[in-house]
Amino acid sequence: MKRGSDLVLTDTASALGDTGYVDAHRFVIEPAAGWAAIDVREIWRYSELLYFLTWRDIKVRYKQTVIGAAWAILQPFLTMVVFSIIFGRLMHVSSGVVPYPVFSYTALLPWTFFSTAISRSSTSLVLSANLISRVYFPRIIVPLAAVLAALVDFAIAFVILLGMMLFYGIVPGVEFLTLPFFILLAILTAFGVGFWLSALNVKYRDVAYAIPFLTQFWLFVTPVVYSTSIVPQQWRWLYGLNPMAGVVEGFRWALLGQGQAPVQLIALSLISVIVLLSTGLVYFQRVEHEFADVV
């Protein structure tokens, strides 16, 4: 039988004698401090893990499926078809000057990303239980990776939108350049919700059951099938507190160049994203040290 020692330590310790290297890995273990600031440097140090977990999620998602990544297109596309028939044709929901299919698909694009991202990230910690209870790493990487992995679906589905715009002869104006901002807004919203729900789900598995209901409800208060214009003016401020309302209206404005820039709505959405994200971070930070004991 081969001796492990002969084989394992072939190119060994010389690199480790270097004290600088050792000090880089020095750490002090203490009881959890309660309210602590998020350690961005630590997360940065584990950026490769973030990359690999994202990559794993993407890689694994469509394994053993027949049509693979086409699911990323099919989901929003078929929803768009159904919406166009029911809301566009049968119920005559107003979509302004834009054809209803483009109108709804432009909204479904960020919406599908958002709902996929939050449902995946909220269960992500529990699904990584064996990782969390055995290895140290900043736990926040897990919900982060789940959200980032959903971006790939978004990118694939985006190609279809370009095709549709070509089909309907819609040429975006310079507003198009603001699109990255709205994508970022959607990502940050998903992060905020993901931090909250994933951390809560570790302790209270009820969250996993509430997610489908939550996304359904959230869809109704987001201008996906309808336009914000049907919301009474005096309630717009409340409506704008839903960050996804700002995202969706922003998408429509940036891509389809419909009407005025929804500045007021976006400003409100921006505020609530900041609140959502910062409270989510704080809550996550506060409970993260318990995960290994509870999960």
Partner 1 sequence: MMNDVAIRVENLGKRYRISGPSAAYDTLRDTVAGAVRAPVHALRHRGAHNGSEEFWALREISFDVKRGEVLGIIGRNGAGKSTLLKILSRVTRPTAGWADVCGRVGSLLEVGTGFHPELSGRENIYLNAAILGMKRDEVRRKFDVIVNFAGIGPFLDTPVKRYSSGMYMRLAFSIAAHLEPEILIVDEVLAVGDAEFQEKCLGKMRGIAQSDGRTILFVSHNMEAIQHLCSRCILLDHGHIAAAGDCRSTIAHYLSISREQARPDDWIDVSAHMGRSGTGEARFVAVRYRSDLSSIDFQPYPSGPLDIELAVESDAARSVGSLAVTITDQSGTKLINADTVLRHLNVDLKQGVNLVKVRIQEVNLNPGIYRLGLWLADPIRVHFTDRPFDYVESALEFEIVNVEEGSNMLHLNGVVPCEFELLPVG
Considering only residues 186 to 205 of the shown chain, the ones binding partner 1 according to CB under 8 A are 203-204
- Cα 77 to Cα 112, 245, 277, distances in angstroms: 10, 20, 30
On the CB side of 143, how many CA atoms lie within 13 Å of its CA?
31
Distance of CA 59 to the CA centre of its chain: 17
Burial of residue 287 (CB within 10 Å: 0-12, 13-18, 19+) is: middle
Q: Which stretch binds partner 1 (CB under 8 A): 56-64, 71-79, 86-94, 151-159?
A: 56-64
What is the identity of the amino acid at 144?
Answer: L
Q: Is 20 in the site for partner 1 (CB under 8 A)?
A: no
Q: Which stretch binds partner 1 (CB under 8 A): 52-60, 150-158, 185-193, 273-281?
A: 52-60
> CB-wise, 59 or 89, nearer to partner 1?
59
Angle subtended at Cα 191 by Cα 78 and Cα 223, rounded to the nearest 5 degrees: 45
Q: Is 89 in the site for partner 1 (CB under 8 A)?
A: no
Q: Least distance (Å) from partner 1 to the CB of residue 267?
A: 40
> CB-wise, 30 or 234, nearer to partner 1?
30
Q: Least distance (Å) from partner 1 to the CB of residue 53?
A: 8
Q: Could you tell me if 224 and 108 are in contact, meaning their C-beta atoms sit under 8 angstroms apart?
A: yes
The residue to which tokens 């609530």 are assigned: 272
Tell me the H-state helices in 84-224.
100-127, 129-132, 141-168, 179-203, 206-220
Q: Which stretch binds partner 1 (CB under 8 A): 65-73, 131-139, 169-177, 275-283?
A: 131-139
Distance of CA 172 to the CA centre of its chain: 25
> CB-wise, 120 or 252, nearer to partner 1?
120
Residue 112: name the closest of 74, 56, 142, 69 by CA: 74
Position among 20, 63, 169, 234 found at the interface with partner 1 (CB under 8 A)? 63
Q: Is 30 in the site for partner 1 (CB under 8 A)?
A: yes
> CB-wise, 84 or 122, nearer to partner 1?
122
Q: Could you tell me if 205 and 126 are in contact, meaning their C-beta atoms sit under 8 angstroms apart?
A: yes
Q: Least distance (Å) from partner 1 to the CB of residue 197?
A: 17
Q: Which stretch binds partner 1 (CB under 8 A): 43-51, 112-120, 268-276, 279-287?
A: 43-51
Q: Is 9 in the site for partner 1 (CB under 8 A)?
A: yes
Q: What are the residues whose beta carbons fall under 8 Å from the beta carbon of 176, sequence distance 6 or more?
A: 254, 255
What is the identity of the amino acid at 191?
Answer: F
Q: Is 145 in the site for partner 1 (CB under 8 A)?
A: no
Rounded to whole angstroms, how far apart are CA atoms 120 and 150?
8
Q: Is 17 in the site for partner 1 (CB under 8 A)?
A: yes
Q: Least distance (Å) from partner 1 to the CB of residue 38?
A: 16
Q: Least distance (Å) from partner 1 to the CB of residue 84?
A: 36
Q: Which residues bind partner 1 (CB under 8 A)?
A: 1-13, 16-17, 19, 22-23, 25-32, 46, 48-49, 51-53, 55-56, 59-60, 63-64, 130-137, 203-204, 289, 292-294
